[in-house]
A and B are shown apart, each in its own frame.
Chain A
Amino acid sequence: MNHPTITTKPNYKTPSPQARKWKKGIRYTITYVLLIALALFMTGPFLWLLSVSLMPGRNVFSNPPAVFPTFINFGNYAQVWNFMNFPKYIMNTVIITVMGVVFNIILSCMTAYPLAVFRFKGRDMVFTLLIATMIIPSSTAMIVHYLTIQWLNLGNTYLGVVLPAAVSVFNIFLMRQTFLTIPTEIRDSGKMDGASELRIWWQLVLPLVKPGIAVIMLLEVMAFWNNFLWPIVVLDDPEKYPLASALTYLNGQFSYNFGWIAAGTIISVIPIIVVFLFTQRYYMEGLAGAVKG
């Protein structure tokens, strides 16, 4: 008899293939049930808002609540579009966003480049200073920004809205991480050909850091598109407000007209959700990269 114990002893560690299949199936089911429940929790409110915004007359307070659209009508959208002068607010938002994004890309690429590749006096000092500003919490920033913008005579201008966030230390570090991955030979070869530093940066190096630029672009598009408080503080004229600010303003004035505000809210979130869904790969990678950096 060869090793009788092995054949008689029930083995719990390796169940039969069928049992294993069952177990795997149950595990899959549980995972998907959890995933779907969580998805409903995270996107349900948006879907509900979309649904009620498409049903003029029914409202947020109808009993039982209108969760699924029983009919679809774009009345709310048509009315709020004309009433609120949406094209104007969208234009304002686009101007602010484009200005903010362009400033951030150019300034963080310019500032980060020498920090990553040059050897120069004062480099460590700049570095320490930048890190210090990230650690020290500032709760007075908005008040001082307001005073600075008034002092620069930039009140009620888009430049005043954009300038305080024209470059962030975070973006500078993000770009520095990206520049560090560029081989030094690129710059050397440019120098051999007698190109100026500016030209090397613009023509040789920048095309290689496009992924980093894409990440900053995405982060800043979202930040500027969604920012509502600072524009309210700087802009005296509500006609100049971007969408998010206008929405707050309108909600204060026309909160009784729920359908319009709901439609306005949907109009304001759709562009950003679309941008996100189409660029999420870069976005998620950038986010992960930012933690490492």
Chain B
Amino acid sequence: MKKWMRTETFAAWAFMAPGLLIVAVFVLWPIVYGLPLSLTDYSVIGETHYVGLDNYVTAFQDKSFLASLWNSMVYVLIVPIIQIISILMAILVNSRIPLIKAFRAAYYIPVVTSMVAVALMWSWLFSSNGVINYALIQLGAIQEQVGWLSSSSTALYVIMFITMWKGLGYYMMLYLAGLQSIPTDLYEASMIDGASRWQTIYRITIPLLRPHILFCTLISLMGAIRVFDEVFVLTNGKGGPGTATLTSSLYIYQKGLVQFNFGYASALGLIVSVIVGILSILVFRLNKKGGVQTY
């Protein structure tokens, strides 16, 4: 063995080489290659040409793409709803009463099951002669069957509901980890001062959960914009009815991997990436503004 081979630097790089190679090819390369690809008309047929910003010009005139962007923005509405419900759930399960672990596990089951199974299940429940319509008619909430997934005014919201339902347990566990890191003497002190339960939640719990709220908001934001599986399964990859549930990821998939328009699909992908980036920065800013700084 040569002397340089025995150095720590050599050993380090030898250990990291296989993993870094995979990261370079499948994580770094897509980020780098996306831009040049988006400036071409690369597809399965014909020669590839450099087309400048043509793809971007086309994108902003593409009605389906604009509709998909709008749907993705609507989808972001689930982000604050998820935070509120999962924080309340975390507060509910943050105790040591009997069976609490079983309940936590039960809430987590939708998280571990595949989106295919979850989406199929809910599509039957939401079908026009399914359980949900039956129950709502019995309760007198609606007069006749509603085509939840076939009507363009409700389909997107139904899919948003399914996304939320599947994710709640995950965010609940993240918030629970946050709650358990809050020292209990803060709560004792507030009780001595005569604060009500809601006051403690509002004045102590929420401010101290700030880092967790930031983390969960960012994750769910990216999840909402990249939503794909549930839309794919529920609409057979079409995003219908019409473009009612066409989200930007689904449209990129259709352009890139169904119609094999790699260049155009990359341009769409980069536009979405930029939007995600801007939204993430906004979340950071909002989270830092005002209130207690905990980090």
Contact = CB atoms under 8 A, between A and B. Distances in A.
A52 to B, nearest CB: 8
Contacts of A110: 15-16, 18-19
Interface stretch (A72-80, A83-91, A135-143): A135-143
Given A65-B130, A140-B273, A38 B103 contact: yes
Interface in B27-85: 27-31, 33-34, 37-38
Contacts of A63: 129, 134
B108 to A, nearest CB: 7
B141 interface: no
Contacts of A276: 105, 108-109, 112
Nearest to B178: A291
Interface stretch (A1-9, A94-102, A207-215, A243-251): A243-251
A60 B127 contact: yes
A157 interface: no
Nearest to B166: A42
A158 to B, nearest CB: 16
A87 B130 CA distance: 31
A48 B25 CA distance: 44
A145 B256 CA distance: 11
Contact of A119 (B8, B232, B265): B8
Contacts of B210: none
Contacts of A32: 97
Contacts of A262: 124
Contacts of A244: 114, 116-117
A142 B34 CA distance: 10
Contact of B236 (A38, A252, A280): A252
A23 interface: no
A193 B33 CA distance: 47
Interface residues of B, number: 93
A167 B37 contact: no
B259 to A, nearest CB: 11
A145 B33 CA distance: 11
A251 B262 CA distance: 28
A60 B129 CA distance: 8
Interface in A122-163: 122-123, 126, 129-130, 133, 136-148, 163
Contacts of B217: none
A280 B193 CA distance: 38
B158 interface: no
B14 to A, nearest CB: 8
Interface string A207-243: 0000000000000001001101100010000000000
Contacts of A186: none
Interface of A: 13, 28, 31-32, 34-35, 38-39, 41-43, 45-46, 48-49, 60-61, 63-65, 67, 107-108, 110-111, 113-115, 118-123, 126, 129-130, 133, 136-148, 163-167, 169, 172, 197, 201, 222, 225-226, 228-229, 233, 244-245, 247-248, 251-252, 258, 261-262, 265, 268-269, 272-273, 276-277, 280, 284, 287-288, 291-292
12 contacts: A28-B97, A64-B134, A111-B16, A114-B16, A118-B11, A122-B13, A137-B276, A139-B272, A140-B252, A143-B266, A244-B116, A287-B177
